[in-house]
Amino acid sequence: MVKRIIGCVQHIAQNMFKVCKDDGLKDIFKECVRKFKPPRWAEGMKRIEDEDPHVCDYIMKQGKRHPPSVEEPLKLHKWTQCHDGGLNRWGIMTTNGSESLNSVFRVARQLPVTAIVEATFYKCVEWFRNRWGVAAGWEVQGLEFSMQITQLLQYRGAKGKVHEVIPFGFHRRNFEVRVADEVISKERKGLMKYEVDFSGHLPVCECQKPQLTGIPCNHVLAVCTKRRLNVKNYISPYYSLQNYINTWTADWHGFGNENNWPLYDGPIIRPDPDNINRGRRKHKCIPMVMDIMEGRSRSKQVRKASKKSRAARNAKNSGF
């Protein structure tokens, strides 16, 4: 059973910004919680603690049902990458995917409800059609994984070629991978050793990237290169190109002309005439903490969206 992951990095950073109003601590937090290695995460939290112990204490209480309770254990698995415990996040550190749709429907959300539904429908059709076409092109090229995963494997494979691999036994399938000149901390570099275990379905590495994402790290790829192992056997099927194609291969059906729809026999809901405001709809843009934290100006966003709306309306009226 998959654990319930509730921690959203962006929203935790937003709440933290309310406490300290410090952009530097916010950036350190967003960087360290995405680390796969516990020492790197601990290093980032130590930097936050040195700057402001109150903020560090606030962060460590995230995910607890009763934050003031000292007896309740910490819930680090809910908001950190390195304490995820397995393939629960797949590297995704946000739980609010709807936020990404705000910019997509920035202009459409100013329209009536029926127009918003229609715009959403055709936008989904466009996404499915275009992304399936891209995936079909990858299939013609002979790729077995998406282009992003293929390029990531190539990048990590190039790094793994210079690593030294020491086998610990042929039956245990354990290896030690030595990485020279790795950044150990902000202050120094040095030799790092990683133990890689191939005894399970997916390889296990001390860097935790294979366990947390299902994608081999450069240490695993180094072993595969030295021992001539097939890398494809150690990648989660989650990333296969066939699964990607299946995601976007659904068929859509249009809703036809309104004149051909069956007659509606039901209650008719009309707005209250006293609450209908005549004239152009007013848009109240209230600055949010997230906008202030990211240094965005709501007025600039509104002017930009209005400019796009006017351009689209003028193009439609001119017949183009």
Is a pLDDT exceeding 60 seen at residue 308? no
Helix (H) or strand (E) holding 176: strand 174-183
207-242 pLDDT tens trace: 999 999 999 999 999 999 998 999 999 999 999 999
**pLDDT at position 261 over 50:** yes
Q: Which pLDDT belongs to residue 7?
A: 54
Q: How many residues does the chain have?
A: 320
- For the chain, how long is the longest CA-to-CA vector? 82
Token couple for 126: 């466009």
Residue 260 backbone class (left: φ over 0; alpha: ψ -120 to 50; beta: rest): alpha
Reported as a pLDDT band with limits 50, 70 and 90, residue 30 is confident
CB 83 within 8 A of CB 33: no
Give first-to-last CA distance, the chain, whole Å: 54
- Calpha distance 184→159 (Å, rounded): 17
Task: Please write the tens of the pLDDT for every residue from 101-116.
Answer: 777 787 787 788 888 8
Phi (first) and psi of residue 176, to 5 degrees: -115, 125
Amino acid occupying residue 71: E
pTM, two decimals, is: 0.75
Q: Is 171 within 8 Å of 199 (Cβ atoms)?
A: no
Domain positions in the chain are 9-83, 105-251, 288-320
- The CA-atom distances, in angstroms, between 114 and each of 84, 274, 276, 293, 302 are 42, 22, 17, 34, 22
Q: Which helix (H) or strand (E) holds 221?
A: helix 218-227
Q: How confident is the model at residue 179 (pLDDT cuts 50, 70, 90)?
A: very high
CB-CB contact of 205 with 148 (8 Å):
no
